[in-house]
Amino acid sequence: MACFFRRSVALQIKRDAVVEEVVAGRGVIHFRLNKLILAQKLLEQLHSEPDGFGVKSDLLRHLQGGRTLVEFSSPNIAKKFHAGHLRSTIIGNFIANLKKSLGKDVIRVNYLGDWGMQFGLLGAGFERFGSQEKLKTRPLEHLFEVYVQVNREAESDESVRSAAAEFYRRLVQREDQALELWRQFREITVDEYKRIYQRLGVDFDHFSGESFHDGQTQNVLEELKTKRLLKTTEKGTGVVDLSATGDMSSYATLVRSDGTSLYITRDVAAALDRKQRFGFDEMIYVTDKSQTVHFQQLFHILSFMGHQWAERYSHTHTHTHTHTHSVPTYQMCHHVAFGLVQGMSTRRGEVVFLEDVLEEARSRMINNMRQSRSERRSDFKGPLISDYKFDWDKVLQSQGDTGVFLQYTHARLCSLLRRHASESYSCRDVSPLTDSRSVSVLQHLLRYDEVLLQSANDLQPRHLVNFLMTLSHLVASAHRELPVKGSPAAAAQARLCLFSAVRSVLANGMRILGITPVDKM
């Protein structure tokens, strides 16, 4: 019966200039498209507006416009910039780039961990055994040394813990000397990070931090009290009941018994401040999955306070044969969680500074460019939520599906186009591109907007990474089998047009991933 139905449907589908043949198969219906029209339409579009290809598709029209705030990277001052922060930086940068390419107004925020009891420890530690000289010559390393040492001593020495609590009290009360030392820690660290971000090619519109919102937490607590959401426990802490039945089976603590705020209190204040200042339509937090519960609590608290923009809504669409209709989008807050990075160390031992990562990467890449090894896989080819075993040899291979392979493919295409730069070519006659190798490349390019839609829907780079890897493999085969040099003029021109189109899409996709395409290697 099903087989008869498929044959019946296949017979009713009208053949036209685009669809040459419709065949009912086992469980599927096959469409054979006109290869010449495919090549003409696609290459014409890519040649006339290479930067707009894919991103201006009707498929993505419902995603255009509006303002997106992305909070990512967010390292802690005076603590090591670990691999998780590096991963957050790369993923957050990808999300911000993707949203911008789709026509969003994007605000990139780096929310620094620059407040809390850790600064009581750091301040007390620095007053005991810190060095202004070392702070000038190697700031991050020295602050971390102080932090590790004071933590070690605090475990066994009550006087150190008391000194830390006293320093934090001075900081909260805005005592000049304590505040000046804290400000010095913050400025030194931010300057150092900005230099490192520059090396990574990552920009931020705002360097914010917990300290900026600490003064706003009192207003948050007052509002929670007014709305009867803040309850005091027997221990004297202030909590918000998050349970569905009101039985306190699930709750979030927003104020300690001594009246000081917590990380989540400052996050509530930060979210409210950002909404007022930036008027975002959606806010995306990019952190590792250990903070999943924290963000669930944050969004619930904001929602309980009456802020509907903190609730998560899914995009829903209805389809007709000509248009995709979008149900109006609501403001959204959501958390993009990624797996933990395990087993990362450097020549300095377990302390991982981003500078070490970059230097290690640089030296290994130079070495890799001199010698080829076995195939490896790319970090972001799988789901972000999976934990990731860090392996220098695995990440920095020049062979196989890696970022270097994309760079190599792009550079090779640039080299080909440079060699034939004196030859003027047009995309008017694409009849030589109906062979199976050319068609496989063209069909793959046709999927670019669909891949961008998948990436935008779940904010995962794997769809785009896999698309670009496959494109690079396809064009490598095409490069071997479809020579430009020595071919008839018509074939040479059409192939140059195809290779130029692939280079454009590859470069655009790489930029969204945060990779700056190189012209030579």
Bridge partners of 107? 69
β-pair type (341-342, 388-389):
parallel
Quickly list H helices, 371-458. Answer: 392-395, 403-419, 436-445, 448-458
Q: Which residues contact 417 (CB under 8 A, 6 or more apart)?
A: 496, 499, 500, 503
Q: Is 82 a known active-site residue?
A: yes
State the catalytic residue, choosing from 82, 104, 213, 463.
Answer: 82
SS3 492: helix
Torsion sign over Cα 446, 452, 457, 461: positive
Q: Which two tokens stand for residue 218?
A: 């009192």
Verify whether residue 323 is a known catalytic residue.
no
Task: Provide the strand spans (E) within 202-331.
Answer: 206-209, 230-232, 238-241, 251-255, 282-288, 317-319, 324-326
**Would you call 79 a catalytic residue per the annotation?**
yes
User: CA separation (Å) from 293 to 86, 239, 246, 451?
Assistant: 22, 15, 19, 30
Identify residue 456 by its one-letter amino acid code: A
Beta bridge partners of 103: none
Any residues with CB less than 8 A from the CB of 372 and at least 6 apart, and which?
Answer: 398, 399
**Cβ–Cβ under 8 Å, residues 472 and 406:** yes
Q: Dihedral, CA atoms, 467, 469, 475, 480, nearest 10 degrees?
A: -150
DSSP-assigned letter for residue 105: E
Q: Which helix (H) or strand (E) holds 70?
A: strand 67-71
Q: How many CB atoms lie within 10 A of CB 364?
A: 16
Question: Given the structure tokens 């090894």, which residue do they identify?
Answer: 373
**Lookup result for tokens 């009360």:** 173
Residue found by looking up tokens 């969204």 in the block: 512
Centroid of chain to Cα 367 = 28
Containing 136, the helix (H) or strand (E) segment is helix 132-137
Of the residues 79, 289, 294, 315, only one is catalytic, namely: 79
The residue annotated as part of the active site, out of 80, 85, 142, 410, is 85
Q: Enumerate the active-site residues.
A: 79, 82, 85
